[in-house]
Every structure is written in C-alpha cells, then in structure tokens.
C-alpha cells in the first residue's frame, strides 16, 4: 500500500511540476528561447499574490483571477522589451539576458519582501484531504492536478488547432519564411511569452498555497521545469506533462526509500533519460 500511496502522491506532485513545465515547454521546447528567469518569475508572482491577499483580504482563487492577467502582461513586456532583441538561432544571447534578469529579479524581491519565507493563506483548503481506498489524498493537490490537465489540454489544442498556434510553429521553424507569408514573428513571440508567463500565474498561486516561498527559491522551480521538458521531449506539450509525472513519481518513490533521497532520485531519472534517450520520451529522434 505504501508504494501505491507513493505513486498517487507522485502523480499529484507532478501536477505542480507540470504547471512549471508548460511555460518552459512553450518557450524552450517550441520557440527555443532559454529563459533562466523562469523560476524567479514564479516566485515573483507568488510574492505579489501573497501581498495582494494580505492588503485586500482576497481569497486564493480571487488572487488567481487578479494574478494571471498581471502575469500575461509581464510576459508580453518581457518579450517586447528584452527577448525580441536577443532571440535568434543562437540560444546564448537569450540565456545571458534572462540570467541577468534572474539576478535582477532576485535582488528586487529581496529589497521589497526581504529574505523571509511567506505563504498564501488558503482558508483551510491547503490542509483538507479525502480518504480513498485506505489512503489520504490532499484536496489542494487534486485541484492542482485538475488545473494542470486543463492547462495542458488547452495549450496543446491552441498549438495544433488555432491560427495563432500554426503561426507560432511556423515562426519557430523558420523566422524568415514565416515573415514572407505575412506572419509578424515578434508579435507572435510576444503573445506566446505572455501565455507562457500567464500559466506561471496559476503555478504561483498553487506554489504559495502548498508551501512557503522566498526570493531565493526560483532555482528549484527552474530545474524542475527544465527536467520535465527534457524528460518528456522538446516541442511536446503532453510530453512535458508526462515528464512532470515521471519526475514527481520518481521523487515520491525516492522519499519512501529515504527522506533525503527524494529530490536526488528525480535528478537521477533525468540523467538516465538524457543519457539513453536525449530527445526525450516523446521527442523525435
């Protein structure tokens, strides 16, 4: 029963990682933009959400309604002001630019919120659980998983069926050829980054409900998102979702083996996939 419980808890943990990974799958997997500030944006949005809740007495889902549009605007501004100036075939300029942005965001957050950890009050939802078949499942992790599935389905549908999705894939494949067909790559990329960061608005609320957040926590979210995308395969939205499940399950099983082995187990699975199938589980060879 304990291993079945580990499997269930790993899937629920993977739902949280999927919300980190979807934005990364769009920027890194589709647009080939290396956004090192990905995790810091999650923490920044989390801290903004906590401040909104404390200042106006908002509940977590009201905070989400306010935070997601703010995240969309932040993503659009990020692409327009910074990434459009460095995007190209060489990923190094975007990596350097977002690394600098990451350092700037960390220092900004330290100045505004200090190094103290904070969390978003959920009115008791974060501690509620339901008993199913002899195991207890947290209500909040189940909500997180449902949101992750919905966001994955919507993002995949948008990329495959919408005019915007086709324009984005065309611009990512060949910017010059896409421009010749009337597509404005810079405008398409700005909209895509707005969506990617907008998804982080959901992740920020759930992350601050599940645990405390501090300005220095962005690195962990970046690593988990990156590993999930690589495990699943670049360019595959559902691959990023499955990669998140693999990462969450491996960590949950690792925690059952030894409390100090959980995070390392996820890293080891990532290294095994990278060594044996570099294109990822669902990537093309």
Average pLDDT estimate for 203-223: 92
User: Is residue 233 a part of any domain in this protein?
Assistant: yes
User: Is residue 281 a part of any domain in this protein?
Assistant: no
Question: Does 1 score more than 70 pLDDT?
Answer: no
Q: Report how many domains make up the chain.
A: 1
DSSP string, 175-198: HHHHHHTT--HHHHHHHHHHHHHH
User: Is residue 285 a part of any domain in this protein?
Assistant: no
Gap between the Cα atoms of 282 and 264, Å rounded: 23
Contact 209, 103 (CB under 8 A): no
Question: Does 284 score more than 80 pLDDT?
Answer: no
Average pLDDT estimate for 68-77: 95
Name, in order, each residue with C-beta under 8 angstroms of 21's C-beta and a sequence gap of 6 or more.
224, 225, 228, 229, 232, 240, 241, 243, 244
Question: Does 93 score more than 90 pLDDT?
Answer: no
What's the whole-number average pLDDT of the chain? 90
Q: What CATH number does residue 16 fall under?
A: 1.10.3470
Question: Does 242 score more than 80 pLDDT?
Answer: yes
Question: Does 132 score more than 90 pLDDT?
Answer: no
Express as a percent the part of the chain with pLDDT over 90.
59
User: Is residue 32 a part of any domain in this protein?
Assistant: yes
The alpha carbon of 169 is separated from its chain's Cα centroid by a whole number of angstroms, namely: 20
User: Of the ranges 4-13, 131-140, 199-208, which is most confident?
Assistant: 199-208
Global confidence as pTM: 0.92
* Nearest CA among 24, 26, 283 for reference residue 164: 26
User: Is residue 160 a part of any domain in this protein?
Assistant: yes
Domain range for 256 is: 2-276
Gap between the Cα atoms of 277 and 268, Å rounded: 14
């Amino acid at each position: 029963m304990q291993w079945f419980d580990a499997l269930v808890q790993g899937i629920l943990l993977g739902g949280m990682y999927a919300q980190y990974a979807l934005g990364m799958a769009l920027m890194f997997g589709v647009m080939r933009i290396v956004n090192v500030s990905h995790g810091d944006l999650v923490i920044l949005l989390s801290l903004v959400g906590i401040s909104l809740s404390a200042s106006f007495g908002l509940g977590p889902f009201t905070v989400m309604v306010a935070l997601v549009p703010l995240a969309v605007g932040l993503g659009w501004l990020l692409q327009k002001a910074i990434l459009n100036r460095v995007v190209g075939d060489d990923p190094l300029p975007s990596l350097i630019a977002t690394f600098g942005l990451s350092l700037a965001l960390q220092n900004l957050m330290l100045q505004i919120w200090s190094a103290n950890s904070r969390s978003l009050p959920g009115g008791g939802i974060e501690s509620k659980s339901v008993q199913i078949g002899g195991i207890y499942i947290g209500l909040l992790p189940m909500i997180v998983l449902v949101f992750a599935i919905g966001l994955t389905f919507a993002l995949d549908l948008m990329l495959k069926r919408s005019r915007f999705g086709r324009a984005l894939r065309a611009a990512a494949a060949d910017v010059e050829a896409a421009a010749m067909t009337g597509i404005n790559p810079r405008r398409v990329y700005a909209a895509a980054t707005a969506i990617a960061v907008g998804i982080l608005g959901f992740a920020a609320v759930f992350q601050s409900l599940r645990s405390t957040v501090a300005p220095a926590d962005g690195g962990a979210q970046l690593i988990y998102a990156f590993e999930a995308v690589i495990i699943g395969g670049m360019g595959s939205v559902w691959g990023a979702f499955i990669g998140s499940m693999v990462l969450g399950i491996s960590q949950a099983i690792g925690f059952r083996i030894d409390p100090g082995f959980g995070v390392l187990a996820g890293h080891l699975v990532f290294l095994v996939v990278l060594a044996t199938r570099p294109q990822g589980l669902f990537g093309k060879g």
